[in-house]
Amino acid sequence: SGECTFVGSPTGCKKLTAAEYMQWVHALQPDAFVALSEEAPCWDGVSTKKTQAATKKTEAWLAECGEKANGIPMFASVQGGADEGERRAAAVAVASRDDVAGFSIGSLGAGETPGGVRAGLLAAAIAPLPAGKPRHITGLGAPLEIIMCVEAGVDLMDASFCHVCTQQGYALNFPLEPPHKCGAGLDVGGDEDSAPGGKRKRAESGAGAGAGAEEENASRDDEGALRTEKEEEQEAEQRLVAGGDAFKINLWALSYRRDPRPLLPGCDCFTCSNHSRAYIHHLLQCHEMTAAVLLDIHNIHFYCNFFAEVRSAVGAGKFGEFAAFHRNRAAVGGA
């Protein structure tokens, strides 16, 4: 069709038709692509007529892209704006198509109210889709958003969360999984001590039953000493005061200007293996490009490990425990 959408580029806003879009797809030869879509705004007040027009345009482009796919797997875009009924109808319209390899839930993270409203829109879009094909989502990428998406049945997440953290001077820093309170030892959770990549520190086994009871609600600091819940709460409060939260620390904060520790003790990424928080703080204060490079290295490496833990929890049937652990940490500020 001759209809087009508009996309941002380094030189401004550009028109893009489905035919032009497919030229780019064939030039890039991706493993899969999402059919061109018209993304309706998700905030309140957008007219139903405008949302329905965007959905119809997306459906027409799906057919056109499918004709030109030439064997490249195609995901159908499921739109619908802030209207649960429209999202459900858009999903029903593409659910039975044989020419799609999966489905991409669009327009979330684009102005809708977080929490129950967002979860309702996501559920409405996913419910009609077959379980045998992957569900993909863009726009949602923070840890609790990832957890919500997994619970809803999303398989693939595509977001700029790590780089947005980097741009704001944040380093991801949180325990990847709940501390195990049974078995050979204690998997160290806590603010500073989760060690991605399978290198988690453990309390030595063989201690008496009394020592084990004391360790149940404690983690270890950088020198291996047990920290009490009160000490963890104090550290969480310091994070908040410095502009961080339960999942990240703010390297712009002056409290890190002489901190010799890596961004996350135990992390085996290049940044944590070679540089300190004080050095990253210095680079940020001097507006050095290297700060963004080093933060991106750490954030992406760490988040890949987070996703590995998500998959592990799902495979072990313990995702409910995993989700509750991270939600509880967020609720108390990261203690």
Cα–Cα distance measured from residue 258 to residue 244, given in angstroms and rounded to the nearest whole number: 17
The predicted structure's pLDDT at residue 231: 60
Query: What is the domain range of residue 218?
Result: 170-331
**Which of 159, 193, 226 is the C-terminal boundary of a domain?**
159
Same domain as 251, residue 112: no
Rg (CA), the chain: 23
Q: Is residue 297 assigned to a domain? A: yes
Q: Of 159, 181, 200, which residue constitutes the final position of a domain?
A: 159
Let me know whether 230 and 129 are in one domain. Answer: no
Q: Are both 72 and 39 inside the same structural domain?
A: yes
Find out whether 39 and 54 touch, Cβ atoms under 8 Å: yes
What is the average pLDDT value for the chain, to the nearest integer?
A: 84
How many structural domains does the chain have?
2
Element (DSSP H or E) covering residue 322: helix 319-331
**What share of the chain has pLDDT > 70, as a percent?**
81
In-domain check, residue 165: no
Q: Please compute the mean of the pLDDT values over residues 114-126 and round it to a whole number.
A: 89
Specify whether 32 is located in the same domain as 84.
yes
- Residue 194's pLDDT is 42
Q: Answer yes or no: do 129 and 251 share one domain.
A: no
The pTM for the full model equals 0.80
Do residue 245 and residue 270 come from a single domain? yes
pLDDT (average), residues 93-98: 93
Same domain for 132 and 225? Answer: no
The reported pLDDT for the residue numbered 334 is: 59
Neighbours of 317 (CB within 10 A): 8
Mind listing the pLDDT tens digit for each residue in 57-88?
999 999 999 999 999 999 999 998 888 999 99
Output the pLDDT for position 295. Answer: 99
How far apart, in whole angstroms, are the C-alpha atoms of residue 48 and residue 310?
Answer: 37
pLDDT band at 209 (very low <50, low <70, confident <90, very high): very low
Based on the domain organization, do 327 and 179 belong to the same domain? yes
Burial class (CB in 10 A: 0-12, 13-18, 19+), 31: exposed
For residues 210 and 90, state if they share a domain.
Answer: no
